[in-house]
Amino acid sequence: MEFTLLDTCLDLSLNSTTSLDELPIKQQEVIGLGGGIPSNDEAASDHLAKEVKRLSGENTKLREVLSVMYDNYNTLRKQYMNNCSTSGTSRKRKAEKITSRVNSELSDEDSSCNKSRVLVHHHHIQRSDHTTLLVKDGYEWRKYGQKITRDNPYPRAYFKCSFAPTCPVKKKVQRSVDDKSIIVATYEGQHNHSKVVLEAGEGSSTTTIGHSHKQPEFNKLLIDQMASSLTRDPKFKAALAAALREKTILTHK
Partner DNA sequence: CGCGTTTGACCCGCGC
Partner DNA sequence: GCGCGGGTCAAACGCG
- Candidate segments 37-45, 81-89, 142-150, 208-216, binder of DNA by CB under 7 A: 142-150
Q: Determine if 91 is a binding residue for DNA (CB under 7 A).
A: yes
Note whether 185 and 196 are within 8 A (CB): no
Within residues 150-179, the interface with DNA by CB under 7 A covers 150-151, 156-158, 162, 170, 172
Note whether 56 and 3 are within 8 A (CB): no
Shortest Å distance, C-beta 101 to DNA = 12
Query: 3-state DSSP call for residue 189?
Result: coil
Task: Return the number of the residue (142 or 214) whose C-beta is nearest DNA.
Answer: 142
- Candidate segments 4-12, 88-96, 197-205, 229-237, binder of DNA by CB under 7 A: 88-96
Amino acid 113 reads: C
Amino acid 217 reads: E
Q: How many residues does the chain have?
A: 253
Distances (CA, A) of 86 to 80, 124, 138: 10, 36, 36
Amino acid 214 reads: K
Q: Determine if 143 is a binding residue for DNA (CB under 7 A).
A: yes
Residue count, binding to DNA (CB under 7 A): 23
Question: What is the rounded distance in angstroms from the CA atom of residue 21 to the CA atom of residue 25?
Answer: 8
Question: What is the rounded distance in angstroms from the CA atom of residue 143 to the CA atom of residue 157?
Answer: 7
Task: Return the number of the residue (57 or 153) whose C-beta is nearest DNA.
Answer: 153
In terms of Cα–Cα distance, which of 49, 101, 63 is closest to 79? 101
Helices in 34-166 by DSSP H: which ranges?
A: 39-86, 92-105
The one among 32, 38, 88, 92 contacting DNA by CB under 7 A? 92
Task: Return the number of the residue (51 or 96) whose C-beta is nearest DNA.
Answer: 96
Task: Return the number of the residue (63 or 170) whose C-beta is nearest DNA.
Answer: 170
Shortest Å distance, C-beta 182 to DNA = 18
The one among 64, 71, 144, 194 contacting DNA by CB under 7 A? 144
**Which residues sit at the interface with DNA, rule CB under 7 A?**
91-97, 141-147, 149-151, 156-158, 162, 170, 172
